[in-house]
Amino acid sequence: MASPYGTLRSALAAIRDPHTAPSAPTPGSGAPMSLSFSGGLGGGSAFGEVGMAQQLQDVAKQLSFQMEYNTDLLAQLQRLEEEHLVFQKGAADKQAALRQALAVADAARADANDAKRRLAVAQEVAVKLSEELKEARVDGGALRRQLEASEARAAEAAADLRGLHTDKTSAAAQVCGCRCG
């Protein structure tokens, strides 16, 4: 598609210099309109006046076509400017949406980083608690073994005490039997 500015330039050039433009264009064809005169402007003959009237009608017709063509060009230029404004608004809307999406992405990234940091802290705490649990199990096992050993010694001591009590009772009965009998 030809640039509307090139067409506008050629139309303006044709208006400035009608001898360089093609003759008899139609409105809306995209070709610049030109004005041309044939014959002289003098002579008082009837044929000259009729010719002059015909030329004036041709000029008026060409000017009318030129005005329509100029109006078409202005309408096209206005339409292009409106399309450009719509495009600029659309681009601005898209930029605003992009900025908003980037802000949301930044917030999500910050949330993810915070969650990652909290997860790392939680993992450190879990590892520390796991180590403390292992130590407590080891300590609990050692304490259980000590308790079992203490209970075994207490049972032995109780058995020894019962044995001593039995021996004392037997010895007392023997002593009492020797004296009493």
Segment 16-39 shows an average pLDDT of 50
Instruction: Tell which wins on pLDDT, 85 or 41.
Output: 85
Structural domain spans, the chain = 4-108
The per-residue pLDDT for 9 is 62
The per-residue pLDDT for 39 is 47
Lowest mean pLDDT among 39-43, 46-50, 72-76, 177-181: 39-43
Confidence of residue 21 (pLDDT cuts 50, 70, 90): very low
Is the predicted pLDDT of residue 69 greater than 90, yes or no? yes
Percent of the chain scoring above 90 in pLDDT: 50
Confidence of residue 64 (pLDDT cuts 50, 70, 90): very high
pTM score, two decimals? 0.41
Alpha-carbon Rg for the chain in angstroms: 58
Residue 147 makes CB contacts below 8 A (sequence gap 6+) with none
Neighbours of 76 (CB within 10 A): 15
Is the predicted pLDDT of residue 66 greater than 80, yes or no? yes
